[in-house]
Structure formats: C-alpha cells, structure tokens
Amino acid sequence: SSPMDRQNRRRGGYVDFPHLSAQHRELMLDLVSTVETRLESDLLPSSLSPDVQYFENESGNSQAALHIRSGDKASPIDLVLGSWIHCELPSGALDITTISAYLKSSTDAPRFLIEFLQSSPTSLILILDLPPRKDLVLHQDYLDTFYGDTQLDKRRQELAKVPEVRPYFSSSLYIRCVCSPTAILVSINCEAGGEGRMEEIIRDHVGPVAKEVLGIWLDRCACGGRVVEVHERADLEMRDRLIKKKTIEIDLGSSLPRLFGPDVAGRVLEAIRDAFNT
C-alpha cells in the first residue's frame, strides 16, 4: 500500500472509524462498502489532499476524517461524502459519523443521508432520510413514487417500536424542512441497558433499517433512471445548490471552526465547497 494509505491507517483513515463501537463500525463499513461497490463505475477517486482527508485540532483532542468521491461525467451521481468527527469535550466524547449522497440535475430523485451523533456510549441520535429535491406539496406524484410506493414509512415505524427509541427534533428548523415526511429522526437512549443494549439495538434494529433504506435509495434513486428534461434542470440545480450552501452553513460551517480552530476549518470547508461546487 502507498505511504498515504499507511499514514491514513495510522492516524485513522476514513473507513477505520477508530472511535466507534464494534457494531456501529461494522454497520458503517457495510454501508460504505455497499455504496462504493454498487456505484464503483460511477465514482471518481477522491482528490482530497491528505490534510483534508484527515485533520485534527492543535491539542489533538478533536480528530476527523473526510472522504469525498465525485461522480463521473456520465453518471447521475454528483458526489458521495463520508465523514467522521471525534471530539473529547469536557462533557465527554462526541462522535459524528455521516454518509450523504447528492445527485445531479439530470435526475430529480431524492438524495441519501445518514448521520449518527453519539454523545455517550448509551446515547445516540440517528438521522436517516432520502431528502426530497422538490416541493412535495406541489408534486404528489413525486411523493407517491419515492415515499409512498417504497413504503419508507414502514421502516420508520419499525424502528419507533423499539422502547429506547424516541422521535428527535433537530434544533435547526431548516434541517427539519429539508427532510422528507418519512425521515427517521430519532434519539436512542439506553442508560438502563448500558452499552451492550446499544450494540444490540444497532445490530438488530438500526442496521437492518439503514441497509434497507440505502438499498431503496440505490435501486430507485441513484440507479432508478428517472430523467429530468433539460429545461427543468435549472430550478432543480438552484434548489440543490441552496441546500448544499445552507447545509454547510448550518452544519459543518458552524461546528468545524469551533472544534478545529479557524485555520483547519477554513482549509476543510474550502475543500468541501470545491467538491460541492457551491
């Protein structure tokens, strides 16, 4: 393997997920490898510089890895982004692990998003959604095709049955707005059952649902072949660009400077904006 591979592995490359529990790491590896295997011929190699692929703050108590692969020219995939952030905060360790996928305006199919926010071994927030790329109020056919016919809500309902699972409301109203009506936004708290119970919930409930939702996205959205007429693409592009911009602003744009200092954050955000083309 190359020196960069070795360096990444030593410092914690993207797919090492060095701070996750065994079940959580296994799930992330499964999701990443499913995406990369299925979309291999669509995706270009990562072009991020090593100091963006992995970065930490001065004291080393905040660490992160970023992995971005843009879609090939002929592919409907815009880009797939994976990241993890690990921070030792006074309140304890915080781990944020994300996979998100964006599509080009040649299709209007939904995006993919999974995000885990873990603030303790027994407390986890999960956001799992195929965020829509159109105003669903105006496009009933789109709602039916991607959210009704796919029975996405059944997956949400299944997970909601687990006693430790509660609906979660993001403090950002914008994040709530960009989610679909079948979005899985839940907090999982199992102080009573401990870390073992969290592992069980990830293996038996979160994992199966996450894999199913990703499967639906790959089959119906990424590879669904739903094509948008050229004259309709401008509106879609405008909406996508706005969402990307807002997402950076609300999410990484506010957390990275806080956790990694302005220099590191500036470098990483520039690389993301580059890849996002915003």
CB of 151 to its own copies, least distance (A): 11
- Taking alpha carbons only, the member of 147, 169, 160, 150 closest to residue 206 is 160
Within 13 Å of residue 187, how many CA atoms lie on the same side as its CB?
A: 10
Name which of 147 and 260 has its Cβ closer to its own copies: 147
Name which of 15 and 136 has its Cβ closer to its own copies: 136
Q: In what order do the strands lie in the sheet with 92-103?
A: 54-56, 62-70, 77-89, 92-103, 112-120, 123-129, 184-189, 165-167
Which tokens belong to 187? 């907090």
Among 22, 177, 227, 234, binds its own copies (CB under 8 A): 177
Backbone φ and ψ for 47, nearest 5 degrees, come out as -115, 20
User: Using the rule CB under 8 A, is 276 a contact of its own copies?
Assistant: no
User: Using the rule CB under 8 A, is 242 a contact of its own copies?
Assistant: yes
Interface segment toward its own copies; rule CB under 8 A; list 1-9, 68-76, 115-123, 143-151: 143-151
Separation of first and last alpha carbons in the chain: 34
CB of 85 to its own copies, least distance (A): 25
Within 13 Å of residue 144, how many CA atoms lie on the same side as its CB?
A: 4
Interface segment toward its own copies; rule CB under 8 A; list 3-11, 33-41, 130-138, 270-278: 130-138
- Which residues, at least 6 apart from 40, have a Cβ–Cβ distance to it below 8 Å? none
Among 92, 167, 215, 266, binds its own copies (CB under 8 A): 167
User: Using the rule CB under 8 A, is 181 a contact of its own copies?
Assistant: yes
CB of 32 to its own copies, least distance (A): 28
Q: What string marks each residue from 221 to 240 as x (binds its own copies by CB under 8 A) or -?
A: ------------------x-
What CA–CA distance (Å, rounded) separates 235 from 131?
16
Among 74, 173, 192, 230, binds its own copies (CB under 8 A): 173
What CA–CA distance (Å, rounded) separates 121 from 143?
36
CB of 148 to its own copies, least distance (A): 6
Residues that bind its own copies (CB under 8 A): 135-138, 140, 143, 147-148, 153, 156, 167, 169, 173-174, 176-178, 181-182, 239, 242-243, 246
